[in-house]
Amino acid sequence: MAIDHLDRRPRSPDPMSPRPQPVWSHALGRLRLDRPIVMGILNVTPDSFSDGGRFFSVDEALARAESLVAEGADVIDVGGESTRPQGATPVDAAEECRRVLPVIGEVRRRFPNVVISVDTVKADVAERALGEGAAIVNDVSAFRLDDQMADVCAHASAGVVLMHSRGGVSDMATFAHASYGADVAGEVLAELLARAEVAELAGVRREAIVLDPGIGFSKRSEHSIAVLQELPRMVDAGYPVMVGVSRKRFIGEISGVRDPAERVHGTTGANVMALAFGARIFRVHDVAAARQALDVAWAILQPELDG
Ligand code: HH2
């Protein structure tokens, strides 16, 4: 029975096979994807699900950014609007700009070597953040919620993360739209590929696009686990893949750990599996743990180190 179960598991992509895109191009250059890329989360929000309110002032956010860099983050993802599962409070573009722009500008000045992404669904916010020194737009709606987003990203040659979700900001992290047929991963992939087409038609270059299955977004735990199990299918679509498993609900449900801040070990387990299944970019709260785990797992995955 155990063997049956193993036999049905999707295989990880062959690490020897050439990956179509070894780089991720963004507004200020390129990130090489020949090692795991760690994206540290910097929420400048009063209500994020696992660290809301902790880094709300500019000074506090900068101190946090400094730790993320010291712990080995390649990218800092600055977000000013929460999508927390309990139902987030949408904020307008002016308030979101007030939260993120000073932080982005200052992080850019103090840490010129770190790449900054802005976590937003609004084209206005993205455009102004790119003007302050962000190089990547991380859109949890994959350009669904703002018609101008694709144009803004194309015009700035921004790197983009197209994350799978359904619904609006206030319900995308709930189960309101979590209905799937038998092939959850196939549905998620098809919806994401349609968004990638929209992006490319607007002029976003293919090598600027990263796909993210949107763990916990419009997904029950079994849906999140299904898309992670079948991550190689997403990788085979030819775009680099990012995952955001950090401290999420499915880890709490599997482990029984209620406090999100205590879910670092479960996060590590999920990230390492995602790496083996072909993900290359990892959005995390706990950068030091992810850096160490992913670098070690990556070294073990390298064929030239075998035997
Ligand atoms: N998850 C969250 C927010 N942004 N972006 C991408 N690309 N992928 C994710 O999985 C993802 C994301 C939710 O986590 P967090 O930022 O900690 O919480 P909040 O939405 O409350 O700010």
- Residue 245 CA, closest ligand 1 atom number: 10
Closest ligand 1 atom to Cα of 48: 21
Q: How confident is the model at residue 50 (pLDDT cuts 50, 70, 90)?
A: low
Q: Is 215 in the pocket of ligand 1 (CB under 6 A)?
A: yes
Residue 248 is among the residues annotated as catalytic for this protein: yes
Determine the average pLDDT of the residues in 116-134.
98
Whether 1 shows a pLDDT value over 50: the answer reads no
Answer whether 148 contacts ligand 1 (Cβ < 6 A).
no
Domain boundaries, the chain: 35-306
Predicted TM-score of the model (pTM)? 0.92
Confidence (pLDDT) at 154: 98
Taking residues 42-67, report their average pLDDT. Answer: 81
Expressed in angstroms and rounded, the spacing between residue 11 Cα and the centre of ligand 1 is 27
Structure confidence by residue, pLDDT tens digits, 181-225? 999 999 999 999 999 999 999 999 999 999 999 999 999 999 999
DSSP states along the chain: -HHHHHHTSPPPPPTTSPPS-SEEEETTEEEE-SSPEEEEEEE--S--TTTTTTT-SHHHHHHHHHHHHHTT-SEEEEE-S---TT------HHHHHHHHHHHHHHHHHH-TTSEEEEE-S-HHHHHHHHHHT--EEEETTTTSS-TTHHHHHHHHT-EEEEE---S-TTTTTSSTT----S-HHHHHHHHHHHHHHHHHHTT--GGGEEEE--TTSS--HHHHHHHHHTHHHHHHTTS-BEE--TT-HHHHHHH---SGGG-HHHHHHHHHHHHHTT--EEEES-HHHHHHHHHHHHHHH-GGG--
How much is the pLDDT for 87?
Answer: 59
Single out the catalytic residue among 248, 263, 280, 291: 248
Q: Is 271 in the pocket of ligand 1 (CB under 6 A)?
A: no
Average pLDDT, the chain: 91
Fold observed for domain 35-306: TIM Barrel (3.20.20)
Specify whether 122 is catalytic: no
55, pLDDT greater than 90: no
